[in-house]
Structure 1
């Protein structure tokens, strides 16, 4: 089994803090109990930059703090948040971060890096969140039709999720050029093992 590294754990904690900070950037919608939030952007970034294990751990740290009563979900906390209307989305995030990270760890950096990251982030970071999120939203709020549930929990959020996927992919593509995911995973090889940046020409 792969060992956990101090570097990875520190980055997980840092990304948990980023996720908490981004949770305060939200817009409430008059027709839904689900707000537009940038927390999903943090989940995408965690998976893409930290990889599967550390990305999922960052999200689990936030969920654990929430369960313990800390107000880290946009100023809210406690078990009530984890059984509320948005719980389906929240509990999908660790799996989302893990899946994004799983594919990020296997992406070969080339001229299509951005496109591959975009596909992984939008499919797993956005579309995969909706089944559980919308399903629990409908159940917990008593929505009695699929059309109403999709209106309250999916359709208004797709454009924003696509934008967040684009932003995340652009940021990660740039980050990887100077700090590839292999360094987080302690898989330094070649020039990186000597502390050199292989992208810099001599």
Structure 2
């Protein structure tokens, strides 16, 4: 049996703690950066007078979840939604309950959940991998479409019908979903390509769990 070499230093707990603290700080910085990206994407809109205007919000959500993972992706979007709810005009609107419970409120509520689930899928697809194979790429794209596109309509469209005096559910689907599907599909494809290319090279943003 080989005896341990006393001259070889044991791993330093203080070094591990410093590395973990560095990852937490890096994670907070990334949360702030992607929250800012989400805010900027909210101000890129077309047809601002429409019941549901075109924007890049879902694209920013896909990137946040795909690149940051479940926890930090969720917090980066939730932070903006929470601040908007208390009255800050961060999502190209007046802020406050009037915006969060307005015609687009159902979409807004689902945004943090969308980032969480995309991040959950991305975390598992990239676990132990330096890059995605073809099957992983397809699964990531399906996650983007399912959680970043279709899931947002699950609460968004019924709520639009609920608050509108002129739209029933079929009308809300016609106005608030069908026109957006082609553009949302393009966003999902673009987000998948960006996440697949960039996530393997991103520095770790969460402390590594170690066995005692």
Give TM-score scaled by structure 2 length: 0.80
Separation in structure 2 between the aligned mates of residue 27 and residue 149 of structure 1, nearest angstrom: 18
Cα shift at 1:126: 0.3
Residue 6 of structure 1 corresponds to which residue in structure 2?
25
- 1:59 pairs, out of 73, 77, 102, with 77
- Partner of residue 200, structure 1: none
May I ask how many residue pairs the two structures share in their alignment? 184
Q: Distance in 2 between matches of 1:29 and 1:74?
A: 10
- 3-state SS of the aligned residue for 2:94? coil
The 8 Å contact of residues 70 and 120 in structure 2, kept in 1 or not, is answered as yes
Aligned to 1:19: 38
Mapped to 2, the partners of 1:5 and 1:143 lie a distance apart of 48
| Mean CA deviation greater in 17-26 or 72-81 | 72-81
Q: Deviations over 1:45-102 (max 9, x none)?
A: 1110111111110111101221232211124322211110000000001111111111
Match of 1:147 in 2: 170
Secondary structure of 1:128's aligned partner: helix
Equivalent residue for 2:112?
A: 94
1: CA distance between counterparts of 2:191 and 2:166? 32
Contact 1:143–1:149 (CA<8 Å) still a contact in 2? Answer: no
Instruction: Please identify the structure whose Cα radius of gyration is greater.
Output: 2
Structure 2 CA distance for aligned equivalents of residues 91 and 74 of structure 1: 16
Secondary structure of 2:125's aligned partner: coil
Shift of 1:115: 1.9
* Aligned position for 1:70: 88
Q: Which stretches of structure 1, 4 residues or longer, exceed 6 Å deviation after superposition?
A: none
Task: State the 1:175 CA deviation.
Answer: 0.5
- What is the rounded CA distance, in whole Å, between the counterparts of 1:7 and 1:100 in structure 2? 20
**Distance in 2 separating the partners of 1:143 and 1:48:** 37
- Which of the numbers 117, 121, 144 marks the counterpart of 1:121? 144
CA shift digits 1:27-50 (9 cap, x unpaired):
1177x4100110111111111011
The verdict on how the C-alpha distance between 1:35 and 1:144 changes in structure 2, with shifts beyond 3 A counting, is closer
Following TM superposition, by how much is the alpha carbon of 1:16 offset from its aligned partner in structure 2, in angstroms? 0.4
Residue 41 (structure 1) aligned with residue 62 (structure 2): no
